Amino acid sequence: MTDVSFALVLNLHQPAWNLEDLLEHSEWEAKEILWALDRIPRSLWEFEDVGRVHLSLSGTLLETLASPEFQQQAYGIVDCGSLLWHVQNTRIIQVLGTAYYHPVLPLIPRADWDEQIGRWQGIGRHLFGRTSFPGFWPPEMGFCMELIPTLKRWGYRYVLVDSEHVEAITPMPWHELRYRPHTARHGGEEIIVVVRDRELSNAQEAGMDPGWFIHEVCERTKYCEFPPLVTTCTDGENGGWFRNTSAKGNFWGVFYQPLLDRVRANHSEGIRPVFIDQYLDTYGAHGEVTVGPGAWNTGWHHGRGFVQWMGSQAQQDAMIRLDEISHAVHAARRDIGAIATEDGERWRLVEEAHWRVLRAETSCNFFWGEAWVPRCNDDLEQASRLLARIIHGRLLRR
């Protein structure tokens, strides 16, 4: 076995207005989430030589943290402005691009892919002071091959995918399929796919110690005749393992910091945290794969077929309505553009309708069975009313 590169990826997401609502109605839960976010850079400060973490932060979470009103609301719990500043420390943190409202991209209308991805890049460039983000985190790891041309158009070098859905086109053994980046092609475009190890990620989510992790990684990669890249991906602020306020009971104090101590002392069996870009610059990608449509596993489902988000009739009906209203919004935008109107009010109405559709697409509206589906329907109803005002105004002018 050669030395092992370890890529740690954490997804951070809160739906629009969720933290504000929690601070008002469930203050302790809100504090746990905010402390879990603030703990990430603080846990890495003394390990700038060896600590490496990839973070995906949804647009709605960034919008909340950057809001002066929320910063004032959270004052005394977490300094949100300082948190955003500390996340910019490129020695220890690499920020991944994602989609603004955290939708399961393969399930929403393709016409909205550019809007979700582009709006995130807008806030990401503004808050993090950079023009490009090499890696893409598909929300819920929801991926399909048709996304590749869109991701390439937005400048992404690689995308993270779940090991459950990756199939080799170039013949290769199991350990190479999982522990080496590959190329996937669709529509005349290609992108590098970085494969998440599902079982190790499950352990990361549930709780593990560095000794077990080192042993498990060594066993899984012992037949690799190439420099392996082991990638684990989980949420970074959900569950007691990440929210626990005691250093003796959370991910950072029990697992990651002790692992970094071992890395420093050369007692990690050659395992060393890296940024994915750093690995790709050195070793590149090898072989071609295809990735089946699917998401990561949740507490209830394996991710195939997007059952978590599409399992009930109410979820499916909301998705159908979402597609219809999104189509109507895009038609209205084209119509306004076609007649070259200078009517700013109609533009304002159609843009407001569009962001409500985009917000309706958030994965949380479908993740909790039917509990949050009404939130999707409420935004779609508001979008429909705005479209009706546009149509009514046009008829009056005629």
pLDDT band at residue 345 using 50, 70 and 90 as cut-offs: confident
- The mean predicted confidence, pLDDT, of the chain is 95
At 305 the pLDDT is 86
Q: Which residue has the higher pLDDT, 303 or 52?
A: 52
pLDDT band at residue 335 using 50, 70 and 90 as cut-offs: confident
- For the segment 241-285, what is each residue's pLDDT rounded down to a tens digit? 999 999 999 999 999 999 999 999 999 999 999 999 999 999 999
Identify the burial level of 257 via C-beta atoms within 10 angstroms of its C-beta, where 0-12 means exposed, 13-18 middle and 19 or more buried.
middle
Considering the chain, what percentage of its residues have pLDDT values greater than 70?
Answer: 96
Does 380 score more than 80 pLDDT?
yes
Does 302 score more than 90 pLDDT?
no
Q: Please state the pTM of the whole predicted model.
A: 0.96
At 161 the pLDDT is 98
- For the segment 105-153, what is each residue's pLDDT rounded down to a tens digit? 999 999 999 999 999 999 999 999 999 999 999 999 999 999 999 999 9
d(CA 213, CA 204): 9
At 391 the pLDDT is 80
Residue whose structure tokens are 């589906």: 373
Does 337 score more than 90 pLDDT?
no
The count of C-alpha atoms lying within 13 angstroms of the C-alpha of 202, restricted to the half-sphere facing its C-beta, is 12
Extract the tokens encoding 81.
Answer: 């402005």
CATH architecture for segment(s) 4-291: Alpha-Beta Barrel (3.20)
Considering the chain, what percentage of its residues have pLDDT values greater than 90?
Answer: 90
At 344 the pLDDT is 80
The sheet with strand 158-162 has its strands ordered as 135-136, 158-162, 189-196, 182-186
Q: b vs e for 122-145, b when ≥16 Cβ sit within 10 Å of the residue's Cβ?
A: ebbeebbeeeebbbbbbbbbbbbb
Does 336 score more than 90 pLDDT?
no
Task: List the one residue out of 207, 239, 216, 200 whose CA is nearest residue 11.
Answer: 239
At 398 the pLDDT is 43
Q: What is the sign, positive or negative, of the torsion defined by CA atoms of 25, 35, 130, 56? A: negative
Residues 282 and 3: beta-carbon distance below 8 Å = no
At 395 the pLDDT is 43
Does 197 score more than 90 pLDDT?
yes
Residue whose structure tokens are 């220890």: 92
Does 338 score more than 70 pLDDT?
no
At 346 the pLDDT is 87
Among the residues of the chain, which ranges form H helices?
Answer: 18-25, 27-44, 59-66, 68-73, 80-86, 113-128, 148-153, 174-178, 198-206, 210-221, 240-243, 257-264, 276-283, 307-310, 313-338, 344-360, 364-367, 373-397
**At 189, phi and psi to the nearest 5?**
-120, 160
pLDDT band at residue 319 using 50, 70 and 90 as cut-offs: very high
Q: How many CB atoms lie within 10 A of CB 158?
A: 21
Task: List the one residue out of 3, 9, 50, 7 whose CA is nearest residue 228.
Answer: 3
Q: Where are the domains of the chain?
A: 4-291, 311-397
